Amino acid sequence: MSERNDRKVTRATADLVAREANVSRIAVSRAFNPNASLKPEKRDRILKIARELNYTPDMAARSLVTRRSHLVGMIVPDVCSPWESQEIDALTTALQAEGFATLLFKVKADFSMDQTLLTYMRGFNPDSVIAFTENVEPAVLSGFLDRAVPVYIIYDDAEEFAAKRSTSLYDRLVVRQKEGIEQAVALLQGYGARRVAYLGGKRQSLANTERERIITQVLAERGMAPPVVVPGDYTYDTAYRATLDLFRVGDGADAIFASNDVAAFGAIDALRHELSLSVPGDVKVVGFDDIPQSHWKSYNLTTVRIDLADRVRALVRLILRRLKTPGADPLVETLSTRLVVRGTVG
């Protein structure tokens, strides 16, 4: 057995890798940092020798020196719905490209978070935490973090969230929904819609609260009646049943504005397959998010688009800016929305 294979029996050190590769210990450290400056051939040689010696960096030891864990926590309401799953995938990919690993924490059904999980999060000492649910308040979350400043996704003015503000520092990505909703209502009105139903999302979601508030405001500004509010929870099955009730028990509508695309799919299928109504001939349907399934021919959904790539880039910028200037005042990025017109209105 070779000397090198003998050394694989136990975990190697960075010093050993440096000797074998005839480089400095700093070069070994840089080889494992995708953003560090190092010639490609040297990086490849170091990583090859590291694999042969069974060497991996000790991240715990590195974090003690750099005071950086290279971990980003994500607090999410869901992991299997189309929007959340695509966002988690895209954000994880973008963060890995910047040298971060991710930790995923899921809130309870009521959007609250178990204090035990918050304690676990603190133990990982993340460099940043992105809160995709506003219900875990900044004052509570900040109490379980060390140096990390949380990032919140906030929709429009989010007055309810603003009322919960404390002196805790947090950065924010503000998504302006009104522009896209205004475009959607203008299109519906232009095609003769008079009675608009709003098919809601989860009651605890402030994004849903803001969507309902804004569509009510925009309808009033255009001289139209308030929306018929239909309770929902962002899911296909609930939207399907709610649409049946809207037309069989209620007075129906000539347009449905759904709180997300999945709910819009449920409404469309109920209209077409149970109620024998034409979309868009009898009822026009608008969704929200513009998930990839929205352009599928079966739905061809008109929807308000949140640009996922722009949203991910904004979140990564907030994290990198905060790490570069840890003492900065609250950092803010802003995104707008726009209507994507397809075949369910017109």
The confidence score (pLDDT) of residue 139 equals 80
The confidence score (pLDDT) of residue 78 equals 82
Over residues 214-241, the mean pLDDT reads 97
- Domain topology for 3-57: 434 Repressor (Amino-terminal Domain) (1.10.260)
Is 148 a residue whose pLDDT tops 90? Answer: no
Cα separations (Å) of 100 from 114, 191, 248, 332? 25, 48, 52, 21
- Domain definitions of the chain by residue range: 3-57, 66-176+308-337, 178-306
Over residues 239-259, the mean pLDDT reads 97
Sheet architecture: strand order including 128-131: 101-106, 71-76, 128-131, 151-155, 171-176, 332-336
The confidence score (pLDDT) of residue 310 equals 96
Decide whether 3-57 matches 66-176+308-337 in CATH topology.
Answer: no
Over residues 186-202, the mean pLDDT reads 96
The CATH architecture annotation of domain 178-306 reads: 3-Layer(aba) Sandwich (3.40)
75 touches 134 (CB < 8 A): no
The confidence score (pLDDT) of residue 110 equals 73
290 touches 183 (CB < 8 A): no
82 touches 291 (CB < 8 A): yes
Over residues 24-37, the mean pLDDT reads 79
Is 64 a residue whose pLDDT tops 50? Answer: no
pLDDT class of 143 with cuts at 50, 70, 90: confident
How many percent of the chain have pLDDT more than 90?
Answer: 56
The confidence score (pLDDT) of residue 1 equals 43
Q: Is the pTM of this model over 0.85?
A: no
pLDDT in tens, 312-325: 999 999 999 999 99
The helix/strand count (H/E) of the chain reads as: 14, 12
3-state per-residue secondary structure call for 10-37: CCCCHHHHHHHHCCCHHHHHHHCCCCCC
pLDDT in tens, 168-183: 789 999 999 999 999 9
Is 5 a residue whose pLDDT tops 70? Answer: no
The confidence score (pLDDT) of residue 142 equals 80
Over residues 258-278, the mean pLDDT reads 98
The confidence score (pLDDT) of residue 199 equals 98
Is 72 a residue whose pLDDT tops 60? Answer: yes
Two tokens at 215? 């569509």
103 touches 121 (CB < 8 A): yes
**154 beta partners:** 174
The confidence score (pLDDT) of residue 8 equals 45
The confidence score (pLDDT) of residue 34 equals 67
The confidence score (pLDDT) of residue 67 equals 59
In this structure, what DSSP letter does residue 167 have? S
The confidence score (pLDDT) of residue 160 equals 56
Is 60 a residue whose pLDDT tops 80? Answer: no
Distance CA(267)–CA(271), nearest Å, equals 6
pLDDT in tens, 84-107: 999 999 999 999 998 899 998 888
Mean pLDDT of the chain: 87
Is 57 a residue whose pLDDT tops 90? Answer: no
pLDDT in tens, 200-221: 999 888 889 999 999 999 999 9
The confidence score (pLDDT) of residue 58 equals 61
Class of domain 66-176+308-337: alpha beta
Cα angle 323-328-329, degrees, rounded to a multiple of 5: 130
